[in-house]
Amino acid sequence: MTTSLRIAFLPLNDVAVLAAARERGFAEDEGIALDLVRTTSWATLRDRLVYGQVQAAHMLAPLAVAVTLGLSQQPAALAAPYKLGVNGNMLVMARDFAAALDPDPARRLADPLGTAHDFAAAIGLWRRKPVIGVVHRFSSHALMLRYWLASAGIDPDRDVVLRVLPPSLTVEAIHAGEIDGFIAGEPWGGAAIASGRAEAVAIGERIWQRGVEKVLAFREPWLEENPDTVDRLLRALARAAAWCDEPDNREGLAEILSRADYVDQPADLILGALGGRITPRAGDAPLDCPNFVLFSREATPFPWRSQALWIYSQLVRWGMVEASPQAAAQAAAVFRPDVFRRALAGSDVPMPGASMKLEGALASPRAVGSRGGDLTLGPDRFFDGRVFDPERIDDYLEGFLQLR
């Protein structure tokens, strides 16, 4: 018997796992007919999920937390048992702004701390407050950008203008001078660079080496009522994710994503970021960024509760939600490692022994306790060296206070 599932997504490279699950037959093998619904704004994707027009969505992790906390229109308890990707964002700035930073883009990207300070100096020289496009208030991109700017003493609410802008309009907006740069998932930064208007200034992976990005989000009641379907879907996605991470499959994956049903951009542009080859400035040789985006290895899909809590800590930090033990518990409960364990128990997907960890504590790859295979976690440091202990959120937040 085949189960039909409607899943909403936005045209971005990190819809890869869902696209592969459908196009390479992994969903079909589990008896699931995947109907992938292309949407063009996070608001519409959210509404389709919250009001039951789709069963699941390719969602910004912070948006899933924000909807659950009632911060984004109609409150609804969302559940994320699976991460669709880690990393994948890039900050690009108009060429004349970037000219005030280190002229060597490779050095600029390699030293996010130095670049943040150069950025702070450049703000004063710019003809206005720099206007930086972000894809959504509750996006990993916005949280990452704020974190990075604040490290150099920049107040993102005072010293720059953060403008919400759909990724598909970013290149046009830079061209028209409406924004001075933007942070978005690929292929949009790459597209702006290829157009000659912008240069890479920072890469998400260099700000937080294993930054939480998109999740697969369900309405919690639906997730609870359909355990069998959820389990089959997660098994299909785990196989699709392994396929996506395989270097030999990248060209095929880029071809799938380039189609009008998905990202609708040239396959070459998509392939660069998938393969970790980033061209920082039009005409330059690409740089190797092997961890630019991850789909499967290092237990990428595992929804660490500590990552949901890190998002919560940042929402509190920027005054988007008031701190309370109840809100923290609600936020943590959005990520569902229990469902992940249940669905993938019999598979060869390595399973972390714990559901929380210190975020930002690993400076080098480390083998960790797991069932069902060896699991090595990659380095996950924040560029400023801070460590997030999910048991001590107040202390963590205290550490940022003197910055404001």
The Cα 244–Cα 262 span in angstroms is 15
Residue 221 engages other proteins in binding (rule: CB under 8 A): no
Phi, psi of 24 (to 5 degrees): -100, 5
Nearer to other proteins, 161 or 323 (CB): 161
Count of beta carbons in the 10 Å neighbourhood of residue 253 = 27
Nearer to other proteins, 106 or 164 (CB): 164
Nearer to other proteins, 37 or 110 (CB): 37
Nearer to other proteins, 160 or 203 (CB): 160
The Cα 351–Cα 127 span in angstroms is 52
Nearer to other proteins, 172 or 246 (CB): 172
List 42, 82, 97, 262, residue binding other proteins (CB under 8 A): 42
Nearer to other proteins, 136 or 206 (CB): 136
Residue 135 engages other proteins in binding (rule: CB under 8 A): yes
Indicate the DSSP class of residue 132.
E
List 22, 24, 58, 136, residue binding other proteins (CB under 8 A): 136
* 99-107, 124-132, 161-169, 288-296 -> range binding other proteins (CB under 8 A): 161-169
The Cα 126–Cα 148 span in angstroms is 19
Containing H/E element for 92?
Answer: strand 89-94
Give 187's contacts (C-beta < 8 A, 6+ positions apart).
12, 13, 263, 265, 269, 270, 272, 273
Residue 52 engages other proteins in binding (rule: CB under 8 A): yes
List 4, 74, 195, 324, residue binding other proteins (CB under 8 A): 74
Q: Quote the crossing angle between the two packed helices 305-317 and 325-332, to the nearest 10°.
A: 140
User: By CB under 8 A, what part of segment 187-206 binds other proteins?
Assistant: none
Residue 176 engages other proteins in binding (rule: CB under 8 A): yes
Contact 48, 63 (CB under 8 A): no
List 2, 73, 195, 376, residue binding other proteins (CB under 8 A): 73
Residue 62 engages other proteins in binding (rule: CB under 8 A): no
List 94, 165, 253, 334, residue binding other proteins (CB under 8 A): 165
Instruction: Give which of 220, 219, 223, 243 is closest to 233, Cα–Cα.
Output: 223
- Alpha helices per DSSP H over 259-361: 267-274, 305-317, 325-332, 337-344
Nearer to other proteins, 74 or 376 (CB): 74
Nearer to other proteins, 52 or 365 (CB): 52
List 62, 166, 181, 190, residue binding other proteins (CB under 8 A): 166
Indicate the DSSP class of residue 208.
B
Pairing of strands 32-38, 3-9: parallel
Residue 137 engages other proteins in binding (rule: CB under 8 A): yes
Q: Which residues contact other proteins (rule: CB under 8 A)?
A: 39-44, 47-48, 51-53, 72-74, 135-137, 163-166, 168-169, 176, 178
